[in-house]
Chains A and B, each alone.
Chain A
Amino acid sequence: MIATTTTAVPNAPTLSDLRALNEAAMPSLFQLPPEVEELRDEVRDFAQTVVKPRTLANDLAPADEFDWEMVEAGHRLGLLRLTMPKDLGGRGMGVLGVAVAMEEIASVCASTALIFGASLLGQTSVLFSGDQQLQARFLPSFLGDRPVLACNAITEETAGCDLLIPEHAELAEDVMTARRDGDHFVLDGVKRFITNGKVAEWAAVFANIEGNPGATGLTVFIVPLDSEGVTRGAVADKMGYRACLGTTLTFEDVRVPEENIVFGEGGGWNYLTVQSNQARSIVAAISTGVARGAFEIAKEWAGERVQAGKPLYEHQFTARKLAEMSSKIEASRLLYLQAAHQADNMLPAPVYGPAVAKMYADRAAIEVAEEAMSIVGARGYCREHAVEKLVRESFGARIYEGTPEVLALAITGALYGRRL
Chain B
Amino acid sequence: MTVQDPQLFTDAFRAALTDAEFATLLKERDFSLQFVLTGGSGTAFLLDSDGVHDGAPRPASLRLEVRPEALHLILLGRLGVTRAIVDRSLVAKGPVPRVRQLADLLPPLGRAYAQLAPAPSGA
Residues of A within 8 A of B122 (CB): none
Nearest first, the 10 A-B pairs at minimum CB distance are A347-B92, A270-B86, A347-B85, A130-B82, A270-B87, A346-B93, A271-B86, A263-B86, A274-B86, A344-B96
Number of interface residues of B (CB under 8 A): 18
Cα separation A264 to B82 with both chains bound (whole Å): 12
Residues of A within 8 A of B83 (CB): 263-264, 267
Q: Mark A89-125, 1 if CB is under 8 A from B, else 0.
A: 0001010000000000000000000000000000000
A-B contact pairs, 19 of them (CB 8 A): A85-B97, A85-B100, A92-B97, A94-B96, A130-B81, A130-B103, A263-B82, A263-B86, A267-B87, A270-B86, A270-B87, A270-B88, A274-B85, A345-B94, A345-B95, A346-B93, A347-B92, A347-B96, A348-B85
Q: Which residues in window 67-123 of B have CB below 8 A to A? A: 80-83, 85-88, 91-97, 99-100, 103
User: In this assembly, does A129 line the interface, its C-beta being within 8 Å of a C-beta of chain B?
Assistant: yes
Residues of A bordering B, CB below 8 Å? 85, 92, 94, 128-130, 263-264, 267, 270-271, 274, 344-348
Secondary structure class of chain B's binding surface, majority of residues: helix
Q: Please give 9 more A-B residue pairs, beta carbons under 8 A apart, in addition to A130-B81, A348-B85.
A: A128-B86, A130-B80, A263-B86, A267-B83, A267-B86, A344-B96, A345-B95, A347-B91, A347-B99
Q: Which residues in window 37-65 of B have CB below 8 A to A? A: none
- Which B residue's beta carbon lies closest to that of A268? B86
Contact, CB under 8 Å: A345 / B82: no
Residues of B bordering A, CB below 8 Å? 80-83, 85-88, 91-97, 99-100, 103
Contact, CB under 8 Å: B95 / A348: no
A130-B103, A267-B83 known; A345 vs B88 contact (CB < 8 Å): no
Cα separation A277 to B96 with both chains bound (whole Å): 15
Cα separation A270 to B88 with both chains bound (whole Å): 8
Q: How far is the CB of A278 from the nearest CB of chain B, in Å? A: 10
Residues of A within 8 A of B80 (CB): 130
Q: How far is the CB of A167 from the nearest CB of chain B, in Å? A: 15
Contact, CB under 8 Å: A346 / B92: yes
A130-B80, A130-B81 known; A344 vs B86 contact (CB < 8 Å): no
Q: How far is the CB of B35 from the nearest CB of chain A, in Å? A: 15
Residues of A within 8 A of B93 (CB): 345-346
Cα separation A348 to B93 with both chains bound (whole Å): 9
Cross-chain contact of B96 among A270, A274, A345 (Cβ < 8 A): A345
Cα separation A181 to B15 with both chains bound (whole Å): 47
Contact, CB under 8 Å: B96 / A348: no
Residues of A within 8 A of B81 (CB): 130
Residues of B within 8 A of A348 (CB): 85-86, 88, 91
Q: How far is the CB of A261 from the nearest CB of chain B, in Å? A: 12
Q: How far is the CB of A386 from the nearest CB of chain B, in Å? A: 36
Residues of B within 8 A of A85 (CB): 97, 100
Residues of A within 8 A of B92 (CB): 346-347
- Which B residue's beta carbon lies closest to that of A350? B91
